[in-house]
Amino acid sequence: MELEEIYQKARERMEGYCRVCSVCDGRACKGEVPGMGGAGTGSSFQANLAAWQDYKLKLRTLHQADDPDTSVTILEEELSTPILKAPVTGSQYNMGGAVSEEEYTKIVVEGSKEFGTIAMTGDSGDPTVYDIGVDAIQACDGFGIPIIKPRGQDEIKKRIKMAEDAGSKAVGIDVDGAGLITMALKNQPVGPKSKEELEELVGSTELPLILKGIMTADEARLAVDAGVETIVVSNHGGRVLDTTSGTAEVLPEIAAEVGDEATILVDGGIRAGVDVLKALALGANAVLVARPLIIAAFGGGKEGFKLLLDNLTTELKKAMILTGCNSVADISSDILRK
């Protein structure tokens, strides 16, 4: 199976929802929410990609980093790659429905585990979608992380309990989903969270609680002070608020604020191994990838999904060789020029 074959099949299966552009930059699909696009003008989606390109890599070849180790430890699990599957749902209304929600979720959860990484599953305006993710994680012996929309406290706690019962490695809340159109269309109320509400949720479970949707250093500090140990720097793929900064713009200040106290993940516009390398150099411990892996799952099933994970990891390894990084721990901002 070749990537172009996967992309062509995805174009057919996602017609009307995703054009599978040669560069997935949000220009052709701006405003298409539901769908695969970004909110409004699409500028937040586009800013994510542009922000990674603002950083250049320093080419180095006088060293002995000829076989780098791409493994990382996240949530006490050793992963073969610092690339995790981001939580995205809505096969029917975001991706066209050619692959069912159940099959898509099974592909990403099983495919991630088989590759040596971990998938996050999501929540939706259709409450059964969260159940599908939890069931897939339970079928994989708990090797997955369900992410819950910022619903009311009791609704979140109910879903946390489901994650616990499934044996999940962790559970999360994507607070950047507070204004999602798709939730409003289904009459599923969501909203922002206070520090006190976060403390209540952290205290409600023994599972590590991940908070996704942090875009400022002060909110990173608030989250950590509330007991959150893992945050995701994310603007929800540019799908909730127009004209935000790209995640690479804010990652360094967030890492400077809480990098010694929390695990930092980042998503948004990561399209190649060099983007992963830049994210790690800017202070992330690992990255989440969404749209490219969705396309691979729709176009090539589990085989295509794992092929793209392998390509991204191979690109990362090559970039590590050419910047003199023998392991993920060796990666620092010294390899970057802006």
Would you state the structure tokens that stand for residue 252, as one six-digit string?
């360094």
Average pLDDT of adjacent 10-residue blocks, the chain of 338 residues: 96 97 96 95 98 98 97 97 97 96 98 98 94 98 97 97 98 92 84 97 98 98 98 97 98 98 98 98 98 98 98 98 98 97
pLDDT of residue 185: 80
Cis peptide preceding 34, ω within 30 of 0? yes
Q: What is the pTM of this model?
A: 0.97
Q: Is residue 63 flagged as an active site residue?
A: no
Hey, CA dihedral for 216, 184, 169, 272, is it positive or negative?
Answer: negative
What's the distance, Cα to Cα, between the start and end of the chain in Å? 37
pLDDT of residue 39: 95
**Separation in Å, CA 255 to CA 71, 138, 215, 260, 331:** 20, 33, 11, 8, 14
Question: For the purposes of burial, counting CB atoms within 10 Å of the CB of 201, is it exposed (0-12), middle (13-18) or buried (19 or more)?
Answer: buried
Q: Which amino acid type is present at position 21?
A: C
Relative to beta strand 171-174, strand 209-214 is: parallel
| Catalytic position from the list 236, 271, 306, 317 | 236
pLDDT of residue 246: 98
What is the DSSP secondary-structure string of 40-72?
TTSHHHHHHHHHHHT-EEPP--SSS-SS-B--E
